[in-house]
Structure 1
Amino acid sequence: MNNTEKERIIRQFQEKMDYDELLNCMRCGFCLPTCPTYIESGKNELHSPRGRIALMKAVVDGDIEPDDEVKRSLDMCLGCRACEPVCPSGVKYGHLLEEARDIIYQNKKPSLPVKAVRHLVFEQLFPYQNRMTTLVGLIGFYQRSGLSTLARKTHMLKLLPETMQLMEKALPAIPKGKEIRNRSEHLKPIGDKKKNVAFFNGCLMDTVFMKTNEATKKLLQYAGCDIVIPKTQACCGALHGHSGEKAKAKELAKRNIIAFEQAEIDYIITNAGGCGAFLVDYDHLLKSEPEWHERAKAFTAKIKDITSILVELNFQQESLKLKDEVLTYQDSCHLRNGQKTFIQPRQLLQSIEGSDYVEMKNADRCCGSAGIYNIVESEMSMQILDYKMKETKKTKAKTIVTSNPGCLLQMRLGIEKEGLQGQMRAVHIVDLLLEAYENAHS
């Protein structure tokens, strides 16, 4: 960073960082055993929540410059927020991290290639679902046309980093563009109506994992929900918010508030832990804009994960059956730490007849996906995944259940990495629950 960039960053740290929140950190160290990057870096304080907060405060106080070491420490953070539930002072670490990253990325001039990639991803792709659909359609064509088989046979994939090679194999079968575009905006319950809900589509969930979205809506229908799917909804903005693009995240938040606020509903249902955790934070994201803050609070009050509403509607008491299945569950960090939802998925899994549920050691520790972390911080991500797969294998599970698309891809990547194809599968919880429900009622 040059001196002008550093001066701007220091000034904005002093103006924007919540100093009271920085002071709330008592340096007790309760966060250290929960932090994957602290553990995997050999207990390096620079890569702990306590250490990162100390760096932020030191920049505000003028004790250190916001140099590349500070940026590196913040970039290395997964943003899993596992430190928050164990903090005696209740420090909102996730809010501090997002603000610090936003200040640095908005004031540090990136290289031209990085600037081009960030513009493409954050400005031109994720905010526009039709463009996401087109891109994903091309990936689907690659899979169906035989190009994927050709690429593997000719070893063309060897040109990619190892993580990307594994990820190509871990991708699910992509639906055709026509399937993605032609879907209902209103679905009636199957049986007696119990709730009126809206469904939040998401970006990846509504393209790469469209079948999981369809399974989610089917489960809601079986549970007695009348469902509306607002056509004007947008990306949740989580990727932007976590990557120093706060202004764009606010823009997307406002689009979503407008899209859902006219619907007469009890809840807005999500099936992706990362999306849900960001959606419930819209009131914080828009706290400085009085005309939006109250609308954001009304919006966030309605957010509910699919597993929460299913338990609320006693879906776990329905007949659910699988055959000779050993299950384990990998928590979505943001579902657990952001939405405080972790008991409900386990209740649902434990209610499935013909299956044994085995709790994984440290199931609440991040798998290393964290949005695009497994691409931009591949080495650390794979270290974290290696630990996760070691604990997964100890459960002797045939099926790893997840509740977030990033976690699902990461665990599939782990299965490929360990050579466990055919012995183990990774599935989203709604796909498994639908399979169990339809098995029991066929």
Structure 2
Amino acid sequence: MELVSKGSLSKFDMNEILNCMHCGFCLPACPTYRQMGMEFASPRGRIALMKGVAKEELAVDAEFEHHMNLCLGCRACETACPAGVPYGSLVETAREMVEDQKRDSAKPSVMKTVVFDKLFKNPQRFKQLGTALWAAQSVGLQTLADKTGLIKVLPRPMAEMQKAVDKIASPIARKKREPVMKSGQANALKIGFFSGCIMDVMFFETNQATASLLQKAGCDVLFVQEQVCCGALHAHAGEKDGAIELAKRNIEAFEQAEVDFIVNNAGGCGSALKEYHHWFHDQPEWQQRAMNFVAKMRDANELLAELPPLTFSKRIEAKVTYQDSCHLAHGQGVRNQPRQLIQRIPGVEYIEMNDADSCCGSAGIYNITNYEMSMDILDDKMKQVEQTKAHYIVTTNPGCLLQMKNGIIRAGLQGKMEAMHVMDLLARAL
């Protein structure tokens, strides 16, 4: 494959690449390096490859693509890095260059077009997908496929992950949602709730629980109808133009809503939403609007920890441990708030897990595109989970939640442990 053109090379910020001092602090923090022990599987090694490409000494070829896509994008290296290298943006730029190269040499795959252009850009299609999943569960197709072995026609990653999918909310339940949930308090904060695409289909009840918690904390919660996918999956996959298009639609939607805060409950979405202003370096007008958007953005844990404490009426006599969402902990720096909220629940015995902020292997769609590596990382994570002897493992991201549910199945812990979103645990105590 030919070397990339100088036009593509300009996408790398050489100053950011040169900030890497090659000190190696990132190595023990990196899940793929811990699994493989190879330099190319580390942030430092990948940055060296990026430097080679930026200096036109290496090509943007299949090998470069493989090394960039092997990264989970967990950003634990950013927490470990003493020089503050923005590795997350560097690897997204590398993937963007890979996708640019592919577009120049071949047509995009039908599957990629369907997922990124037809599905994630259209909220209505996501709702239709949710209805289809609900119907399949309701008539027993999922159970039948499991019992008869028909599920094996699916690729192994999808066949295994579907076992972790809970009951999808019915179309009737989704239609009953009030567009505004009033707290009844004077001078209440007006919250624009970012419901997300996957969250609002597969974890509709979690979204409802989050909105209810905010309402009980004295906020008026508005479900902004014109919102779309956050764009995180597009950005992580190198589809930057698609990510920017979605960001603009969200900025406009929440501008019109005129809310005090924008709140989400998915670590991966929140990290992207809080970084919108970095996506518009060459569009000053949009960058300022993005900065206004970002200034209002809060994770649900973050805001609930700032508001007057909730009054819990139910004790939960159980051991609880917490698995950090990588993008909540490393991307947003939100670590203590979820733990504080959990420990406020009467009856809970909180147990801190070893390496709680190490990646579980979900990483968006990594557990589908890099299945074996993802499962190796998950199995290592479950060893730490088992040591806590917790009844509940809670997390703050849909991908992490599905991964932990799958981990419980793989570890044979069904009936002994339950994985749930921290908002669902808090709502259960109310």
The answer to whether the 8 A contact 1:386-1:414 is kept is yes
Equivalent in 399, 402, 413 of residue 409 of structure 1? 402
The answer to whether the 8 A contact 1:13-1:60 is kept is no
Is 2:320 the partner of 1:327?
yes
The within-5 A match list for 1:201-212 is 201-212=195-206
Work out the CA distance in 2 between the residues paired with 1:110 and 1:63.
20
Work out the CA distance in 1 between the residues paired with 2:147 and 2:204.
28
Partner of 1:38: 33
Once the two structures are superposed, what CA deviation does each residue of 1:333-376 show, in whole Å capped at 9, x if it has no partner?
00111111010000011111111100010000010001100000
Equivalent in 33, 48, 69 of residue 54 of structure 1? 48
Shift of 1:238: 0.4
Once the two structures are superposed, what CA deviation does each residue of 1:320-345 show, in whole Å capped at 9, x if it has no partner?
64332110000000011111101000
Work out the CA distance in 2 between the residues paired with 1:55 and 1:12.
18
The answer to whether the 8 A contact 2:316-2:429 is kept is no
Once the two structures are superposed, what CA deviation does each residue of 1:225-256 show, in whole Å capped at 9, x if it has no partner?
01222111111000101001100100000000
Once the two structures are superposed, what CA deviation does each residue of 1:17-59 show, in whole Å capped at 9, x if it has no partner?
0010001011111111110011011x11101111111100111
Partner of 2:99: 105
Is 2:107 the partner of 1:86?
no
Partner of 1:440: none
Residue identity opposite 2:88 in structure 1: G
Q: Secondary structure at the match of 2:233?
A: helix
Partner of 2:24: 29
Equivalent in 414, 417, 420 of residue 427 of structure 1? 420
Shift of 1:90: 0.7
Q: Secondary structure at the match of 1:265?
A: coil
Shift of 1:192: 5.6
Partner of 1:7: 4
Partner of 1:374: 367
Work out the CA distance in 2 between the residues paired with 1:15 and 1:305.
34
Work out the CA distance in 1 between the residues paired with 2:184 and 2:395.
26
Once the two structures are superposed, what CA deviation does each residue of 1:405-427 show, in whole Å capped at 9, x if it has no partner?
00000000101111211111100
The answer to whether the 8 A contact 2:60-2:97 is kept is no
% identical equivalent positions: 49
Partner of 1:269: 263
Equivalent in 373, 380, 383 of residue 376 of structure 2? 383
Once the two structures are superposed, what CA deviation does each residue of 1:52-88 show, in whole Å capped at 9, x if it has no partner?
1110011111222223221111000000111112211
Shift of 1:193: 5.0
The within-5 A match list for 1:338-353 is 338-353=331-346
Partner of 1:17: 12
Work out the CA distance in 1 between the residues paired with 2:277 and 2:177.
30
Shift of 1:106: 2.0
The within-5 A match list for 1:102-251 is 102-109=96-103, 115-189=109-183, 191=185, 194-251=188-245
Q: Between Structure 1 and Structure 2, how many residues are aligned? A: 430
The answer to whether the 8 A contact 1:198-1:228 is kept is yes
Work out the CA distance in 1 between the residues paired with 2:7 and 2:109.
21
Once the two structures are superposed, what CA deviation does each residue of 1:302-330 show, in whole Å capped at 9, x if it has no partner?
100101111101326x3364332110000
Work out the CA distance in 2 between the residues paired with 1:201 and 1:168.
22
Work out the CA distance in 1 between the residues paired with 2:8 and 2:261.
37
Q: Secondary structure at the match of 2:316?
A: strand
Q: Which moved more, 1:412-421 or 1:184-193?
A: 184-193
Q: Which moved more, 1:215-224 or 1:260-269?
A: 260-269
TM-score by length of 1: 0.94
Partner of 1:253: 247
The answer to whether the 8 A contact 1:81-1:93 is kept is yes
Shift of 1:147: 1.2
Q: Secondary structure at the match of 1:353?
A: coil
Q: Which moved more, 1:376-385 or 1:349-358?
A: 349-358
TM-score by length of 2: 0.96
Residue identity opposite 1:48 in structure 2: S
Residue identity opposite 1:28 in structure 2: C
Give unpaired runs (5+ residues) of structure 2.
none
Work out the CA distance in 2 between the residues paired with 1:262 and 1:161.
42
Q: Secondary structure at the match of 2:419?
A: strand
The answer to whether the 8 A contact 2:46-2:68 is kept is yes
Partner of 2:391: 398
The answer to whether the 8 A contact 2:157-2:368 is kept is yes
Shift of 1:13: 4.4
Work out the CA distance in 1 between the residues paired with 2:7 and 2:30.
27
Q: Secondary structure at the match of 2:298?
A: strand
Work out the CA distance in 1 between the residues paired with 2:213 and 2:255.
24
Is 2:57 the partner of 1:63?
yes
